[in-house]
Amino acid sequence: MILNCLSDLKLGCIINYVPGFKEERDIGAQFIRQYVFMGNITLFRHHQETFE
């Protein structure tokens, strides 16, 4: 299940990064917040916070 979520996130990030590479960090952060808000990858959010 978590692998499917990560695959979706990876695909979404690629789609979002293509239009503007200068804003990729902001877009990626916004995408992750939106995804977590929808409740799909709570575990991924926890994993991400431990790295920061």
What percent of the chain clears pLDDT 70, i.e. is strictly above it? Answer: 0
Residues 31-51 have pLDDT tens digits of 666 655 555 555 555 444 444
Asked if 45 and 36 touch (Cβ cutoff 8 Å), the reply is: yes
pLDDT at 22 over 60: no
Asked if 41 and 35 touch (Cβ cutoff 8 Å), the reply is: yes
Task: Give the chain's domain count.
Answer: 1
Our CA dihedral for 35, 33, 49, 16, rounded to 10 degrees, sits at 80
Q: What is the pLDDT of residue 2?
A: 47
Q: What is the pLDDT of residue 35?
A: 58
Single pTM value for the model = 0.21
The residue segments making up the domain with residue 9 are 2-51
Asked if 23 and 29 touch (Cβ cutoff 8 Å), the reply is: no
Residue with tokens 């409740």: 39
